[in-house]
Structures are given as structure tokens and as C-alpha cells.
Amino acid sequence: MKKYIIGLCLLLPAFTGFSQQKKENFSKAELIAYFDQTFNNLKQEVKNLNQQQLMFSPDENRWSVSQCIYHLVLTEPELLDYVKKSMEGPANPQLKDSVQAGDHELIGYITDRSEKAVAGNDLKNVKTYTSANEALKALEASRKTIKDFINKHTEEELRNHFIKWPMAYTDAFQGLLFIAAHTARHTQQIKEVMNDPSFPK
């Protein structure tokens, strides 16, 4: 999955020449609300799906709904690790100018599915969820861990620690937004699967 995360990060441009919307950034309360929103949006899409619908894949190169959720459960702790590692050292506010994108811009790039990050076949032979309730409980547990981490840190702390991705810097706060936006991205993917003409009714 780490190869996938690097691939996803490569979708982020270097952010040079951007409109500098940083003054419209999220508050900590809005960050938590965005985590709730992205989880609830996903829940609304999948809560009534049966096993056949969860396991349906349009073709061998595309994930099922179940695989999409399993992917989120696997990758969210890995993405959180990037944020945790950035918080281990001292605050480094002099790097603030290295963050060239505002929060809304970052979300826009992560959720834009006009470009796809390739995850490979790492879930091809994995047993995934056979019930929507099981899948949502697994993701909800992951979200509790993340929200507990957010609540342990002030907004100032999260804004003064930084992550160097392959193509851009974000602060730790944006690293957390990255996780929630990643869920929104795959909720779109789930909708694409469900809109396939062959999706079981």
C-alpha cells in the first residue's frame, strides 16, 4: 500500500504560482467535521448494499466496493503515520512559506479523479468485507484513532509541523485533511462502481 500512497502523493503538483488561499483554511473543528462528513457520505452510499453488491467488480482491473473500503482501512493508519512522524521533532514554523496550497486546494487535488493513482493488484486475492456493517465498523474504528490523535494536539501544533511529500510540502494539519479527502476520493470511486450497468440490482 505504501507504493500506492507515494503514487497518490505524486498527483499533488509542486503548487508553484498558486492563488495562496491559505487565509481560508479550515479550523480544527472544521477538520473534525470533515472527517465526520466523509465517513457519513461513504456510509450513506454503502449501508444498504448486500454481499453480492459489495463484492461486484466491473472488471478484473477495478476494485469492488468492498475492496475500496478495505483499502481505506489499510491506508488510513499508514497516512496517519506520516503525520505522527512529522510531529515527533520540534515545531518548525519557518517552513510555513513552503506550504503553497490552501486547504481547499489540497482537497481539490486529492478528490479529483480525472487522474488515477495506480494501486496495483495488492487486493486482488484478499478476502474483504461481505457485509456493509462489518466494513463500516472497521473504518469507524480507524477514524476513532485519527480523531483521538487530532484531539491531543492544538491547531497551532499541527500547523507548525510539516510533511515533505514527493512533490510538495504540507503541514501536519493538511496531512490529516489528506486522509479525509482520500475517503472522499474513494467514495467517488464507489459511486462509479455502483453506476456500472452490470452492478447487481
Please state the domain count of the chain.
1
* Cell output for 179: 486522509
pLDDT in tens, 75-105: 899 999 999 999 998 999 999 988 988 999 8
Identify whether 68 is part of a domain: yes
pLDDT for the residue 114: 82
**38, 188 in Cβ contact below 8 A?**
no
Identify whether 21 is part of a domain: no
Identify whether 17 is part of a domain: no
How far apart (Å, rounded) are the C-alpha atoms in residues 14 and 88?
A: 25
pLDDT for the residue 15: 46
pLDDT for the residue 95: 93
pLDDT for the residue 109: 86
Identify whether 16 is part of a domain: no
pLDDT for the residue 126: 66
Identify whether 13 is part of a domain: no
How far apart (Å, rounded) are the C-alpha atoms in residues 153 and 149?
A: 7
Identify whether 43 is part of a domain: yes
Identify whether 168 is part of a domain: yes
Identify whether 15 is part of a domain: no
Helix locations, 56-131, DSSP H = 65-86, 103-111
pLDDT for the residue 62: 87
**At residue 127, what is the residue type?**
K
Q: What pLDDT tens digit does each residue of the chain (201 aa) get?
A: 555 555 555 455 544 444 444 457 899 999 999 999 999 999 999 999 999 999 999 988 888 999 999 999 988 999 999 999 999 989 999 999 889 889 998 999 889 888 776 555 566 656 688 999 999 999 999 999 999 999 999 999 999 999 988 778 899 999 999 999 999 999 999 999 999 999 999
**25, 102 in Cβ contact below 8 A?**
yes
- The domain in which residue 81 lies consists of 2-8+26-194
CATH number of the domain residue 171 falls in = 1.20.120.450
Give all strands (DSSP E) within 27-166, no chain letters.
Answer: 162-164
pTM: 0.87
